[in-house]
């Protein structure tokens, strides 16, 4: 693999994604690994990521100088570039002057190396305080910018490279070309990471892990759990039973859709657990988002335990228990739940940080290293229908985290209706796949005055949160056509009793997250 050494979670993930876009397998490793541990992973190349620290900050992560003696091709990016400079005896100036955002980088005119095939002057996304003043011995300076006298360098003989800017972000016009130059020219790597390889590898791994034991898989109706289930089914066939927990926090038609589409596509054995009372009971009186998430995470496990007993009884199985639980956990879930080295907990995704301590199942998480779009590609290759693979993401905690305030049956019914209208109109306008996701949120504890019919109303607002995103790590709000927004608004306020206002969320992520809780 190409190892991306993580000096700051978000950057490392994006780099890994871009490397995979170039059809080269990549893995993220913590910066605390020693050179020996890195070599033990047999890396085809190493990329040192950017990160929030200054190389001069106390306790700033270092890179061991002997890593550069190993002969492994290495690319340093931003912080990684500076750490590399420092380790190899170059000079990093402690300017404290920040260069932030789009910047023009000018190529030096000499060897193009990393910059082959890119223009002399290109826009690059920078985010740095310190800068490299003098390249280490043996390196050619390839480019500079106003704030960075040495913005890129290369030592071809040792296959060591570095850039001050972030080639992994889309705002860097030729970023992908720079990364590919490193991978192909620098490291001599071909294009062999494909969805078929992912499937093969996962199927083997799952078979090995599961042996002859029984497995259950929670289906949420979303893309991830469906793809995870299909993968496990391919690996162990009948040892798998899918469990669909109807927690009462679903959208309109959701349960029916899972029963119909998914089973039809895969022929998988399905157990439906009707557990709305359990979840609503546990959520009564709760308004804090993290508490809700933890409760939902816990009740999912309790529901699986009940299902386990039912499944074993139904199958009159002699097995005492179901040993494994499959979850459709994705890589961004892991990182955002604080699983990445040094990353802050933003929110506890129900299937990661929201799990109770006493889970007795062993977890199988075949998508744990994949990004959303990769999961879709795997699903399509496994033969799942477009209605499943192309669906907008829907969070496991469901409408429970889209009601701001206490979750009650009445509020759920109201939100379900509003959501169904919004989805219907979005689909009608042909935008349901173009818009990455559109949560519909009920502000259950806010009232505003309206005039409806001939009288005063005092109802709740509904928030539309359409977003454009690639992998849910960052997002922008979608510029929906105003006519469409108007239709959704009119219909919701006319058709959903208790709602007298519809508002549009125009916040990107960051600073907002996609969901409101
Ligand atoms: P946020 O709100 O963190 O959401 O920007 C990023 C993406 O993750 C989805 N999401 C979840 N998915 N379990 C899930 O399976 C969860 O607990 C969960 N929380 C958020 C969210 O819908 C968006 O697509």
Which structure tokens are listed for 337?
């739940």
* Structural domain includes residue 81: yes
Give the closest residue (by CA) to ligand 1 atom 11: 395
Sequence-distant (6+) residues with CB within 8 A of 121 are: 104, 105, 106, 107
Q: Is residue 242 part of a domain?
A: yes
Q: Are residues 365 and 261 in the same domain?
A: yes
245 & 144 share domain: no
Which residue, judged by its Cα, is nearest atom 22 of ligand 1? 395
* Strand spans (E) along 181-337: 215-219, 240-246, 270-274, 324-326
Q: Is residue 395 part of a domain?
A: no
Q: Which residues are annotated as a binding site for ATP?
A: 220-226
128, 166, 174, 349: the catalytic one is 166
Specify whether the CB–CB gap between 450 and 456 falls below 8 A: yes
pLDDT in tens, 264-304: 888 899 999 999 999 999 999 999 999 999 999 999 999 99
Ligand 1 atom with minimal separation from the 436 CA: 24
Split into its structural domains, the chain has a count of 3
Report the separation in Å between the CA atom of 297 and the middle of ligand 1, taken as the mean of its atom positions: 13
Residues 102 and 167 in one domain: yes
Same domain, 107 and 55: yes
State how far the alpha carbon of 79 is from the alpha carbons of 13, 166, 257, 493, in Å: 15, 10, 47, 51
Answer whether residue 492 is part of any domain.
yes
Q: Which atom of ligand 1 is nearest to the CA of 515?
A: 2
Q: Which residue of 348, 349, 392, 438 sits with most ligand 1 atoms within 8 Å of its CB, as the best mutation to test the pocket?
A: 349
168 counts as catalytic: yes
Same domain, 9 and 101: yes
Tell me the whole-structure pTM to 2 decimals.
Answer: 0.79
Rounded Cα distance between 305 and 295, Å, is: 15
- Considering 389, 416, 443, which residue would you say is the last residue of a domain? 389
What pLDDT score does 342 carry?
A: 47
Task: Report whether the peptide linkage leading into residue 510 is cis, meaning its omega lies within 30 degrees of zero.
Answer: yes
Final residue in a domain of this structure, among 161, 186, 211: 186
373 alpha carbon to ligand 1 midpoint, in Å? 15
Same domain, 365 and 256: yes
User: Containing domain of residue 298, as a range?
Assistant: 195-389
| Residue 176 falls inside a structural domain | yes
**CA neighbours closer than 13 Å in the CB half-sphere of residue 96:** 1
How confident is the model over 190-226, as pLDDT tens digits? 998 898 989 999 999 999 999 999 999 988 878 899 9
According to the model, what pLDDT value does residue 356 have? 75
Rounded CA-CA distance 83/390 in Å is: 41
CB 150 within 8 A of CB 141: yes
Q: Are residues 220 and 152 in the same domain?
A: no
- Structural domain contains residue 517: no
432 CA to middle of ligand 1, Å?
18
* H runs (alpha helix) in 127-284: 175-180, 195-210, 223-236, 254-257, 263-266, 276-283
pLDDT value of residue 57: 85
Evaluate whether residue 288 is within a structural domain. Answer: yes
Q: Report the pocket of ligand 1 as residue ranges, CB < 6 Å.
A: 336, 347, 349-351, 393, 395-397, 437, 472, 509, 513-515
Please say if 78 is a catalytic residue.
Answer: yes
- Last residue of one domain, picked from the residues 366, 389, 412: 389
Residue among 511, 251, 202, 209 at smallest CA distance from 396: 251
Q: Is residue 512 part of a domain?
A: no
State residue 315's pLDDT score: 75
Domain at 161, CATH number: 3.40.50.880
Choose which residue among 399, 468, 472, 476 to substitute to test ligand 1 binding: the one with the highest number of ligand atoms within 8 A of its C-beta.
472
Q: Which residues make Cβ contacts (< 8 Å) with residue 54, sequence separation at least 6?
A: 60, 94, 129, 130
Q: Which of 31, 99, 168, 308 is catalytic?
A: 168
Kind of pairing between the strands at 240-246 and 270-274:
parallel
User: 371 C-alpha vs ligand 1 centroid, how far in Å?
Assistant: 13
Integer Cα distance of 374 and 466 in angstroms: 22
Nearest CA owner, ligand 1 atom 7: 472
Distance between Cα 299 and ligand 1 center (Å) = 18
Are 242 and 303 found together in one domain?
Answer: yes
Residues 328 and 445 in one domain: no
Complex-level ipTM: 0.99
Beta carbons within 10 angstroms of residue 180's beta carbon: 24
Distance from residue 395's CA to the centre of ligand 1 (Å): 5
On whether both 222 and 371 belong to a single domain, the answer is: yes
Same domain, 257 and 350: yes
- 168 and 201 assigned to the same domain: no
31, 78, 128, 349: the catalytic one is: 78
pLDDT along the chain (517 residues), means of 10: 85 89 90 94 96 85 94 97 96 83 87 90 90 96 93 96 94 94 96 91 96 93 90 95 95 88 88 96 98 95 93 79 90 63 61 72 90 92 91 91 98 98 97 95 98 93 95 88 98 98 95 95
Read off the CATH number of the domain in which 276 is found: 3.40.50.620
Q: How many angstroms separate the CA atoms of 352 and 367, rounded?
A: 13
């Amino acid at each position: 693999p190409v190892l991306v050494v993580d000096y700051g979670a978000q950057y490392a993930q994006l780099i890994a994604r871009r490397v995979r876009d170039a059809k080269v397998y990549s893995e993220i490793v913590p910066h605390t690994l020693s050179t020996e541990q890195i070599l033990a992973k047999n890396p085809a190349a190493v990329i040192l990521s950017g990160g929030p620290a200054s190389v001069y900050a106390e306790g700033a992560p270092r890179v061991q100088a002997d890593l550069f003696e190993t002969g492994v091709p290495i690319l340093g990016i931003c912080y990684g570039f500076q750490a590399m400079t420092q380790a190899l005896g170059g000079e990093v100036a402690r300017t404290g002057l920040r260069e932030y955002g789009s910047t023009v980088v000018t190529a030096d005119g000499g060897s193009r190396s990393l910059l082959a095939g890119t223009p002399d002057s290109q826009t690059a996304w920078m985010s740095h305080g310190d800068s490299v003043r003098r390249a280490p011995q043996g390196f050619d300076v390839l480019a500079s910018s106003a704030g960075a006298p040495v913005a890129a360098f290369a030592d071809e003989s040792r296959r060591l490279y570095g850039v001050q800017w972030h080639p992994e972000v889309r705002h860097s016009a030729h970023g992908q070309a720079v990364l590919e130059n490193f991978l192909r020219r620098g490291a001599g790597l071909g294009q062999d990471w494909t969805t078929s390889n992912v499937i093969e590898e996962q199927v083997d791994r799952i078979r090995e892990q599961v042996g002859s034991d029984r497995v259950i898989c929670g289906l949420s109706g979303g893309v991830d759990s469906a793809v995870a289930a299909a993968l496990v089914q391919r690996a162990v066939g009948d040892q798998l039973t899918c469990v669909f927990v109807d927690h009462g926090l679903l959208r309109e038609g959701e349960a029916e859709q899972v029963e119909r589409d998914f089973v039809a596509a895969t022929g998988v054995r399905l157990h439906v657990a009707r557990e709305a009372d359990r979840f609503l009971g546990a959520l009564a009186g709760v308004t804090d988002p993290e508490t809700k998430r933890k409760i939902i995470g816990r009740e999912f496990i309790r529901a699986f335990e009940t299902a386990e007993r039912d499944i074993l009884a139904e199958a009159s199985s002699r097995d005492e228990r179901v040993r494994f639980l499959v979850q459709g956990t994705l890589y961004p879930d892991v990182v955002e739940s604080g699983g990445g080295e040094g990353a802050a907990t933003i929110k506890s995704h129900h299937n990661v940080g929201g799990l109770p301590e006493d889970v007795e199942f062993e977890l199988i998480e075949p998508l744990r290293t994949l990004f959303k779009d990769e999961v879709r590609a795997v699903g399509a290759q496994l033969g799942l229908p477009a209605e499943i693979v192309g669906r907008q993401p829907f969070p496991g905690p469901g409408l429970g985290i889209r009601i701001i305030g206490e979750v009650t049956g009445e509020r759920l019914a109201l939100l379900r209706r509003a959501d169904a209208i919004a989805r219907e109109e979005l689909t009608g306008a042909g935008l349901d796949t173009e818009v990455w996701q559109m949560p519909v949120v009920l502000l259950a504890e806010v009232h505003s005055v309206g005039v409806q019919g001939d009288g005063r109303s005092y109802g709740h607002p509904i928030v539309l949160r359409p977003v454009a995103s690639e992998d849910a790590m960052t997002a922008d709000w979608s510029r929906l056509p105003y006519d469409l927004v108007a239709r959704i608004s009119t219909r919701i306020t006319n058709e959903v009793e208790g709602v007298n206002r519809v508002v549009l969320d125009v916040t990107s992520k960051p600073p907002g997250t996609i969901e409101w809780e």
